[in-house]
Structure 1
């Protein structure tokens, strides 16, 4: 039976997970409660890669929070595995959203959108998750040891899965969640997904190298102390 760890409430990792969970919860609550045509359409906010990423990140940090509070190594290990998806995906979202938004925000936001996100909510969805998850990875999490080939297959599967999901929502709604996907041809749309998968894999490799440069082959100090 799991027991509460009284020292966990004072740990920096627990504070980070609690803060991240609180931010993501507020942002998700805001967008899911909007009275917009998106929320009334098939798939709602879950049509967007951003929202899918935030939901998965919210699950990830909640598992991490419970793992530290309950002193459960199995939950912490599960969080670490989920982070392999959550952190690179959030960085990808920040990179794609930031670059495309600066180029032409109309490629991301439909002209007929009937709600504008406040700046704090916008940052909470597209910037804060990647920053907070990277802090977790570089400070509190051991480096990813999964073989890069397996990781590429995993990310490719996620990309293909999102492709089929966007095709399903398009068939039901008659529009894609992002205007960019509306104005390109099917081969170009496939190219966008393929390039995004390659960028995602490149982010994973870069983050792993940075982690190695910071810690070498050792675990971050907080985890080493926990293991003693």
Structure 2
């Protein structure tokens, strides 16, 4: 047992604060988040509306797409905790590179637009969301993913241009998807899209891609602020060597 613990500490990235994968705090965080996500999906089923019967279901909403990706991230994370699998841990960290910035973007856009006018994000026929559901959809995913990154994961090493490319693929992939849904349903999931014309929607998605990239850069900076920069060590040949950087797979 002592040897297994020591081996785990050696394999853990030097900047990672809390042991993960583990059946302790890491598993508790992932379990709590998954319980909240399950509540969100159950809310959609128990409170049906016209979206339930339309083409694309609730996956027309960026919120639900992000929630699905966050669920996959933490489901794999919990499996890694239970099995102590380094491979599943790497998969969880790889998914986090997309899911954490995406959820930060969703929270930023939703709460900002809601503060301006709730009718920009909720159609007239939609009843107000209770606070518990609103937080479960639009706050808990981003908060738990950020906590997971800062305390239970190695640092991101994705560069700005790859992050921008990833964000652009997600943003414009979503645009093509909702246009497909519009062709069938003849309405957009968010009222804001009805207000904007096509060039304005392109501008909105381009801005969203940039904001998601900015979120990735901010998370990288925040990780360094909370956990410090990569340490340096001096080898036996008195040459200063940089400690091997962790990558997005958690190595």
Work out the CA distance in 2 between the residues paired with 1:8 and 1:136: 11
Work out the CA distance in 2 between the residues paired with 1:82 and 1:217: 23
Runs of 4+ in 1 over 6 A off after TM superposition: none
Select the structure of larger CA radius of gyration: 2
Tell whether 2:45 aligns with 1:32.
yes
Note the alpha carbon deviations across 1:44-95, whole angstroms, 9 max, x for none: 1110000110111011001000011101001000000100111111111111
| 1:216 equivalent in structure 2 | 228
- How big is the alpha-carbon RMSD for the aligned residues of Structure 1 and Structure 2? 1.9
Work out the CA distance in 1 between the residues paired with 2:190 and 2:225: 37
Q: How do 1:29-68 residues align onto structure 2 when only pairs under 5 Å count? A: 29-68=42-81
Work out the CA distance in 1 between the residues paired with 2:204 and 2:112: 14
Tell whether 2:194 aligns with 1:182.
yes
| 2:107 equivalent in structure 1 | 94
**Where does the alignment leave 5 or more consecutive residues of structure 1 unmatched?**
1-6
Work out the CA distance in 2 between the residues paired with 1:211 and 1:12: 19
Work out the CA distance in 2 between the residues paired with 1:96 and 1:39: 23
Which of 69, 72, 79 is residue 82 of structure 2 equivalent to?
A: 69
| 2:158 equivalent in structure 1 | 146
Note the alpha carbon deviations across 1:187-225, whole angstroms, 9 max, x for none: 011111111111110111011011012223459xxx9xx
**Where does the alignment leave 5 or more consecutive residues of structure 2 unmatched?**
1-19, 232-245
Shift of residue 8, structure 1, vs aligned partner: 7.0
The total of aligned residue pairs comes to: 214
Work out the CA distance in 1 between the residues paired with 2:191 and 2:25: 41
| 2:6 equivalent in structure 1 | none
Bigger RCO (CA 8 Å, 6+ sep): 2
| 2:175 equivalent in structure 1 | 163
Q: Which has the higher helix share?
A: 1
